[in-house]
Amino acid sequence: MTALFSRDLTPASAGPAPLDHSVPPLARERARASIPCWQGYASTPLIALPGLADRLGLGSIWTKYEAGRFGLGSFKALGGAFAVADALDGLSPEQIGQATVVTASDGNHGLSVAWGARRQGCRCKIYLHQHVSEDRAALIRAQGAEVVRIAGTYDDSTHQAREDARANGWVLLADTAIAPDDMAPGVVMAGYTVMIDEIVAELAESGIMPTHVLVQGGCGGLAAAAFGALFEAWGSAPRFVMVEPEKADCLYQSARAGHPVRIDGDLDTIMSGLSVGEVSLTAWQTIERIVGDFLIIPDGAAIAMMAALGKGDFGDAPLVAGDSGVAGLAGLAEAARDPAIRASLGLDERSVVLTIVTEGAVDVTGYRALTGLDVQQITGAGA
């Protein structure tokens, strides 16, 4: 099922900018200053998809393509690794070597934290729930981290990691805040804003102003960082649209309720990185202020978009997009093809749409199973 919930927003009043409610300004400045200095840093490409835009009857579609970020395959490389470096800043080499960082993850955030721990030289434990693929777990272990498997959902692993960190004196670097005093998610989100700075600079250079921005949900961390930073840059000119799986729609349901709610059940969506039932309280403080549209889509929409992009069905160059990475584009296609939702969102032949492909085929086995495509053949063709 595809469905849209829209709500009226009160314009941001005097006081801190919306993003400042979620991301500590000093952490953001530290991220801006440090991440571009990391070895291997490069701005990821902003790709035009004219074939897809023509197929959907839109003016243009642009997507920030994160598959090459630091060789880790997703935008998450910016957040977790920065949080590790920030948490250990000022410690002696001996203290760093004795420290243990810990987090729960659907895969990509844990990989980023593990990579960051390896860079810094500290110990690392990553809590993965039972539905995270072994391919993703193996990538994390390859960074030298210990993987701790937890029965249940992502939210169960988040709570267990939090309890174990407190009991053992470990440094918790969660990307979702389940309590008001959870500070690490804001630091993780600070890393994501470096990607948004790149987008703003790239679009400004091209003289492009989006009319719509679609970003995938999950716990809300990326969406809050992206929408908040873009609101700072562009105000309310674009329409901000949240996209979630119908099977894990905690932000959609929270918007309907007017406050954060937790979704129960197995959250069994193929969009694995968005399989979250509990809103990050840190992220919600920004989302509730500036996001007016919440879209939910079926798994089939994501699978179809993954396959179509990989085969170049729209006439654009083939593009490898992972199950969660494709959500914004899949949501856009669903919205543009539904007459009522299209009209409600004001999508037409003049629309300039920005999306983020947040990951490539990090889980190669899963990508092949969903699409029937070979990643190496696509990338060999120039994707």
Q: Provide the residue range defining the domain that includes 372.
A: 3-75+185-380
> What pLDDT does 60 receive?
98
- Domain boundary, last residue among 180, 204, 228: 180
State the CATH number of the domain containing residue 367: 3.40.50.1100
Q: Which residues are part of the catalytic machinery?
A: 76, 106
For residue 157, the SS3 value is helix
Domain end: 160, 180, 200, which one? Answer: 180
On the question of pLDDT at 383 being above 90, the answer is: no
Structure tokens at 12: 């941001």
Residues 112, 96, single domain; the answer is yes
Same domain flag for 163 and 201:
no
pLDDT digits (tens, 9 = 90+) for 286-333: 999 999 999 999 999 999 999 999 999 999 999 999 999 999 999 999
Edge-to-edge, what's the strand order for the sheet holding 100-105? 146-150, 123-129, 100-105, 171-172
Q: What is the mean pLDDT of the chain?
A: 94
Which of 140, 162, 180 terminates a domain? The answer is 180
Q: What's the CA gap between 91 and 153, in Å, rounded?
A: 34
- What is the C-alpha radius of gyration for the chain, rounded to an integer number of angstroms? 19
What does the alpha-carbon distance between residue 98 and residue 87 come to, in Å, rounded to a whole number? 13
Q: How confident is the model at residue 12 (pLDDT cuts 50, 70, 90)?
A: low
Total structural domains within the chain: 2
Dig out the tokens for 7 from the structure: 């709500």
pLDDT tens profile 199-224: 999 999 999 999 999 999 999 999 99
CA 105 – CA 109 distance, rounded (Å):
6
pLDDT at 335 > cutoff 60: yes
Distance from C-alpha of 256 to C-alpha of 295, rounded to nearest angstrom: 12
3-state secondary structure of 285: helix
- Strand-pairing partners, residue 295, are 4, 243
Tell me: do 104 and 61 sit in the same domain.
no
Unique residue bearing structure tokens 């701790």: 148
